[in-house]
Amino acid sequence: MGLLSSVFNPRTLRGIAKGAGKSILATIAEERENSETYLTTLAAAKEDVNNEGKIIGDNYNKALRVMESTGNTGFNNFMFEKMTVSQIAGLSDLAPTTKDQQLKQLKFQFEALDEDKKAAYETGNYSEIAKKNYDTKIDDLKISKGLVNNNRMGENTLETLITKNVRAKGKEEEDKIISQAIVPELDTPTVAEGEGIYGSIGKTAFEDSRLKLMIDQDYIDGTMEEMINRRLMSEGRFNVPSEEIEKLKNIEYNRQVNAAETIFMSQGDELIVSTKQKITNQDDIDDLLS
């Protein structure tokens, strides 16, 4: 009886209850601390996803705008296959002439394809593939940063029952933080087929090409006017009014520019290099353009 009496002694029972109470409070405090640490880490992950997701989203939107601007689905599918999203997006940051030059090189490659291969690109859907790839990249980013739901409600144990309220509150905060992860939507205006810049790709670059600059220089320094005068004299025409010479000079300038643009759009400045032709005077230019 002595042992039982000591166990069920009111003082002893109060001590047991007091000890159990301290243990429960410690368990709750520990869970609250763990929850706060987890939520702090989750909030940091959300910021990482927002920042890095914006970079990814902006890249995809810029790339889609570059492709959409051409108004040529086949060419866009070709570009999307040959270049990375970052490379295509980078085109939008280039100066107009440099961008046009880069697109011109791609256009040369695309136009050089066999008709059956070119037709195969018409059936692709670069926009849908890009959007799927973007969603996958964002999902992978969230996983890599740890911005995912974590089952912190736990199993049905005594400890989880004791900390149920703390865990439930933590779950609410977790859902709130995850919902605050905001990344750009892919929203690019669609350009109707045939209404984009595809047909004019290369024209901006032509303005700064060696061919065009040589013709401009001849116009400015009087070389072209001298050529007109020699031609008139060979025809037995002397003392031609300056107004007529100016008119003939402009006609000749436009003729050379149009011919040079045709060459440039099909072969580029590389024509001069590939033919190994030395350009020293107007006759050399005429031979090249004829």
pLDDT tens, 111-155?
Answer: 889 999 999 999 888 999 999 999 999 999 988 888 877 655 444
pLDDT band at 243 (very low <50, low <70, confident <90, very high): very high
pLDDT band at 246 (very low <50, low <70, confident <90, very high): very high
Task: Give the model's pLDDT for residue 222.
Answer: 92
Q: What percent of the chain has pLDDT over 70?
A: 71
Q: Between 270 and 77, whose confidence is greater?
A: 77
Per-residue pLDDT, averaged over 151-162, amounts to: 48
Task: Give the model's pLDDT for residue 162.
Answer: 43
Closest CA to 63 of 127, 5, 2: 127
> Is residue 269 scored above 90 in pLDDT?
no
Q: In this structure, is the dihedral angle defined by the CA atoms of residues 115, 120, 124 and 126, taken in order, positive or negative?
A: negative
Per-residue pLDDT, averaged over 45-64, amounts to: 92
Q: Between 269 and 29, whose confidence is greater?
A: 29
Q: How many helices (H) and strands (E) does the chain have?
A: 15, 0
Rounded to whole angstroms, how far apart are CA atoms 181 and 267? 49
pLDDT band at 165 (very low <50, low <70, confident <90, very high): low
Q: What percent of the chain has pLDDT over 90?
A: 38
Q: What is the value of pTM for the model shown?
A: 0.66
Q: How many CB atoms are located within 10 Å of the residue 49 CB? A: 23
Averaged confidence pLDDT in the chain: 79
Closest CA to 74 of 32, 123, 38, 13: 123
Q: How many CB atoms are located within 10 Å of the residue 88 CB? A: 25
Do 224 and 283 contact (CB within 8 A), yes or no?
no
Rounded to whole angstroms, how far apart are CA atoms 151 and 174? 10
> Is residue 29 scored above 90 in pLDDT?
no
pLDDT band at 89 (very low <50, low <70, confident <90, very high): very high
Q: What's the token pair of residue 17?
A: 């209850």
